[in-house]
Amino acid sequence: MASPNFFYIISILFLQLVLVFGNVTLSSTLSTNNNNSWLSPSGEFAFGFRQLNKNNTNFFMLAIWYNKISDKTIVWTAQNDNNLVQAPKGSQIQLTSGGLTLTTSQGDSLWTAQPNNAVSYGTMLDTGNFVLVNKTSTFVWESFNFPTDTLLPKQSLDLSGTLTSRFSETNFSSGRFQLYFNGDNILMSPLAWPTQLRYDSYYSSNVPENYNSSSLVFDELGDIYVETNNINGTRVKPPGKNWGDLVLDSKLYYYRATLDYYGVFTQYSHPRDINAKQGWSIMRYVPDDICIDIRSDFGSGTCGYNSYCSIENQRPSCKCPYGYSLTDQSNQFGGCQLNFPLGCEVDNGEVLNVKPEEVYEYSVVEGVDWPLSDYERLQPYSQ
Ligand SMILES: *[C@@H]1O[C@H](CO)[C@@H](O)[C@H](O)[C@H]1NC(C)=O
Ligand SMILES: *[C@@H]1O[C@H](CO)[C@@H](O)[C@H](O)[C@H]1NC(C)=O
Ligand SMILES: *[C@@H]1O[C@H](CO)[C@@H](O)[C@H](O)[C@H]1NC(C)=O
Ligand SMILES: *[C@@H]1O[C@H](CO)[C@@H](O)[C@H](O)[C@H]1NC(C)=O
Ligand SMILES: *[C@@H]1O[C@H](CO)[C@@H](O)[C@H](O)[C@H]1NC(C)=O
Ligand SMILES: *[C@@H]1O[C@H](CO)[C@@H](O)[C@H](O)[C@H]1NC(C)=O
């Protein structure tokens, strides 16, 4: 007597699991108005909408994130030509045989992923790759092929691929640094803002000539190297004194590699065990010292103008000299500005009503050098 009910309950449970964790079927939608997302089978990765920032409930980004850890770290965002797609409240994403379409509540298209081949279904994989699959089980679109600032194990960057840093820790708009292939070499360059012109590179993977690089690989085990066709050894390790050999264990740790918003390419680890101490740890990074490795005539280094940079706890720290303060109080990488007015009117006592010699003072700053990048200099601007 009990068995029909029992099966009924089982099948309802099963249906719910399929809805949440299974393949994303055609005509499925997600909206910014609810908190739904498409999860990977293990629940470790999610695809869906995230608020643009903590305080903004009116705009969202389409993203993939680690869903089991408390940080809910974002590893991918939808972009158009390197510009973050900002979806107003009420927008929705829909899967059809044509692909993915992100539209506003008025029906305006904001972003699409439209492969040449008809799509049968989509899936958020446990690797963090969201894929669209055709009838014969070929991936016809993969988020892994459109990385933003982060690579995950099993994801590689091909010769035309780039990583672009975000603008700041909490601002996912396209930022000030880029990692890319130039011939056989991985380079990193500052970007002019807002034109995104690449300035001189501050890091090179120094792949020997004739090695014929094919990609930057983040392998299943968690190692990262440039894959080449050289007969004497196909893997070239990124050169750098803070890029050591590691004991890796991807069963115990999540790994990710991110071009951080201050221009450092860093491999991080995070324990999978939710009872272990949470948070991402720095494993290794390049370049050695971002404060002195950016030596371009253009741009203003990692800290912005009128500031100085030092490495603290393996990260750059930006400070303002005496008499200056941060241009944007919430962004230490946004440069500094004078705390006092400057100009002939000041010198003539017209502004502060004091003698010129009382307006200015000298202050000694020890152990600091501004070798280049004295001022922000932007290209391509003529004035
Ligand atoms: C969505 O989920 C997040 C994380 O669990 C929570 O902070 C937020 O308040 C939720 N938003 C809505 C509209 O339910
Ligand atoms: C968000 O709001 C809080 C409290 O109003 C404020 O302290 C914080 O600076 C805001 N954060 C951003 C990113 O605007
Ligand atoms: C699926 O995509 C692959 C690769 O593009 C293609 O070779 C195959 O014919 C496609 N299958 C169908 C049913 O279109
Ligand atoms: C992020 O930074 C860009 C560049 O300064 C700015 O235009 C944009 O408004 C910022 N976005 C948010 C959400 O603060
Ligand atoms: C590298 O590419 C060049 C030009 O395409 C080719 O002549 C050379 O044989 C290649 N070398 C290797 C090791 O594949
Ligand atoms: C491979 O190694 C041999 C012996 O050290 C050397 O003669 C040869 O030039 C190397 N070839 C390449 C493509 O690096």
pLDDT band at 9 (very low <50, low <70, confident <90, very high): very low
pLDDT one-digit tens code per residue, 139-171: 999 999 999 999 999 999 999 999 999 999 999
Phi, psi dihedrals of residue 248, rounded to the nearest 5°: -110, 145
pLDDT tens column, 222-245: 999 999 998 877 899 999 999 999
Amino acid letter, 67: N
Q: For residues 278-282, give the mean pLDDT.
A: 96
Averaged pLDDT, 24-43: 94
Distance 50 CA to ligand 1 centre (A): 9
Q: How far is the CA of 230 from the centre of ligand 6 (A)?
A: 9
- Which tokens hold the place of 147? 């990385």
Entry pTM = 0.88
Residue of minimum CA distance from atom 9 in ligand 3:
136
Kindly identify the ligand whose nearest atom is closest to the C-alpha of 233: 6
Residue 19 has pLDDT above 50, yes or no: no
- Output the pLDDT for position 122: 97
339 close to ligand 5 (CB < 6 Angstrom) = no
Q: Which of 54, 58, 326 maximizes ligand 2 atoms within 8 Å of its Cβ, making it the mutation to test the pocket? A: 54
* pLDDT band, very low/low/confident/very high, at 1 (cuts 50, 70, 90): very low
Q: What pLDDT score was predicted for residue 374?
A: 62
Alpha-carbon distance of 98 to 93, in angstroms, equals: 13
> How does DSSP assign 258-276, residue by residue?
EE-TTS-EEEEEEES-TTS
State residue 297's pLDDT score. Answer: 79
Where exactly are the structural domains of the chain? 23-146
Residue 373 confidence (pLDDT): 61
Distance from residue 73's CA to the centre of ligand 5 (Å): 40
Task: Supply angle C-alpha 309, 310, 311, rounded to 5.
Answer: 135
Residue 15: per-residue pLDDT: 43
For 107-127, the three-class secondary structure string (H helix, E strand, C coil) is: CCEEEEECCCCCCCEEEECCC
CATH number attached to the domain at 23-146? 2.90.10.30
3-state secondary structure (DSSP) of residue 228: strand
Nearest atom within ligand 4 for CA of residue 52: 13
Locate 359 and state its tokens: 């307006």
The answer for 206, left when phi > 0, alpha when psi is -120 to 50, beta otherwise, is left
